[in-house]
């Protein structure tokens, strides 16, 4: 028998049955970083991109991505998210945009994948909007920072 919950006894993929689990308050926060040329970051920060407000579009894309997570990730449960927050911050010292996404709900399964998807798609949107001026951008450090709730309790990267 596999220890992976998405595989049955014969090793076949399955959606985990969460029906018997208690509903609890759950949240997860993930981040992504996108590095770029100083001029590209300045263009974003100064609001001089001809396509518009890069951070606003990336924020909306991240929120939509969290809501569409089960359409993108096989075996991911459709969830009734109660909140999705996507924050983008310019780090001019390192020529990067720091993206942090937090998802919340009261439910029977966690929201880690939704938070990771939101951060990833927000970073991809920054890349998409800015690729005409900087094809060398690098998306990195897509990772879970913390999760709360559920049977396994709380977890933090810093703990």
**Which positions are annotated as active-site residues?**
128
Concatenating the DSSP letter of every residue in 5-29 gives TTB-TTS-B-----TTSPPEEEEEE
Report the greatest alpha carbon distance in the chain: 57
- The two tokens of residue 34 are 């996108």
Exposed (0-12), middle (13-18) or buried (19+): which is 130, by Cβ within 10 Å? Answer: buried
- Which of these, 84, 41, 37, lies nearest to 65 by C-alpha position? 84
∠ CA 42-47-53, rounded to 5°? 120
């Amino acid at each position: 028998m596999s220890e992976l919950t998405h595989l049955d006894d014969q090793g076949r993929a399955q959606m985990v049955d969460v029906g018997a689990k208690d509903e609890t308050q759950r949240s997860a926060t993930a981040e992504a970083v996108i590095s770029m040329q100083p001029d590209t970051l300045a263009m974003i920060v100064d609001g001089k991109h001809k396509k518009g407000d890069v951070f606003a579009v990336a924020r909306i894309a991240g929120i939509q991505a969290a809501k569409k997570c089960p359409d993108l990730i096989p075996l991911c449960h459709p969830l009734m998210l109660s909140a999705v927050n996507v924050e983008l911050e310019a780090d001019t010292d390192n020529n990067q945009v720091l993206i942090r996404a937090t998802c919340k709900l009261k439910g029977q399964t966690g929201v880690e994948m939704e938070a990771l998807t939101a951060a990833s798609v927000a970073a991809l949107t920054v890349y998409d909007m800015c690729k005409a001026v900087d094809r060398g951008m690098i998306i990195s450090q897509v990772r879970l920072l913390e999760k709360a709730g559920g049977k396994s309790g709380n977890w933090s990267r810093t703990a």
